[in-house]
């Protein structure tokens, strides 16, 4: 005895899967809301989505915000998710580049304080536009502070000077 039950049900996602997808869209909406306006402007968002994001700032009640986030998730279904995710990957890459840049500056600062003139010569060879006199003065002050066991005020100034003047 064969049953004539349609097998279309197997092709549909389960209710749990639909809920997971909806929660993922809501989470992505939260990430978009948390972005700065300049970053948000880089995202390929529809007018409906931009309006929903703007509306979020006016909602203060916890329950109203929860319901609004469900709405944001619903609007997110119509967005170009691949383009949005690609833009978020660009943001992450930019952050990694800033961190790498920051660490490179810290390494230069530490080398300049530890090695002195030999490191200064190498830095000036690579970046001839750096003001030598100010650089050497900041290094001397940072070395004196280090030797005296004082807080690294001049070391911080040296870092800021490197960041501002050398384009490292």
Distances (CA, A) of 89 to 40, 83, 98, 162: 14, 10, 14, 29
Q: Which domains does the chain have, with CATH numbers?
A: 15-79 (1.10.60.30), 95-165 (1.10.60.30)
**Quick one: pLDDT band at residue 10, thresholds 50, 70, 90?**
low
For the whole prediction, is pTM greater than 0.75? no
Please name the residues in contact with 138: beta carbons below 8 A apart, sequence gap of 6 or more.
154, 157, 158, 161
- In eight-state DSSP terms, residue 13 is P
The H or E element that residue 149 is part of is none
Determine the pLDDT at residue 6. 57
What pLDDT, in 10s, does the model give residues 103-146? 998 999 999 999 988 899 888 888 888 888 999 999 999 999 99
Determine the pLDDT at residue 166. 62
């Amino acid at each position: 005895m064969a049953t004539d039950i349609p097998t279309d049900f197997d092709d549909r996602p389960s209710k749990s899967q639909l809920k997971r997808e909806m929660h993922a869209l809501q989470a992505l909406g939260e990430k978009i809301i948390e972005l700065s306006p300049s970053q948000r402007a880089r995202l390929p968002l529809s007018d409906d989505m931009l309006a929903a994001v703007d509306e979020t700032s006016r909602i203060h009640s916890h329950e109203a915000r929860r319901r609004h986030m469900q709405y944001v998730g619903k609007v997110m279904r119509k967005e170009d998710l691949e383009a949005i995710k690609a833009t978020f990957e660009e943001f992450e890459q930019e952050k990694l580049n800033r961190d790498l840049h920051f660490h490179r500056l810290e390494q230069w600062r530490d080398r300049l304080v530890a090695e002195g003139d030999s490191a200064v010569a190498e830095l000036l060879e690579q970046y001839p536009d750096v003001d030598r006199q100010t650089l050497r003065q900041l290094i001397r002050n940072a070395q004196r502070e280090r030797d005296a066991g004082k807080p690294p005020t001049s070391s911080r100034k040296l870092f800021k000077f490197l960041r501002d003047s050398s384009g490292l």
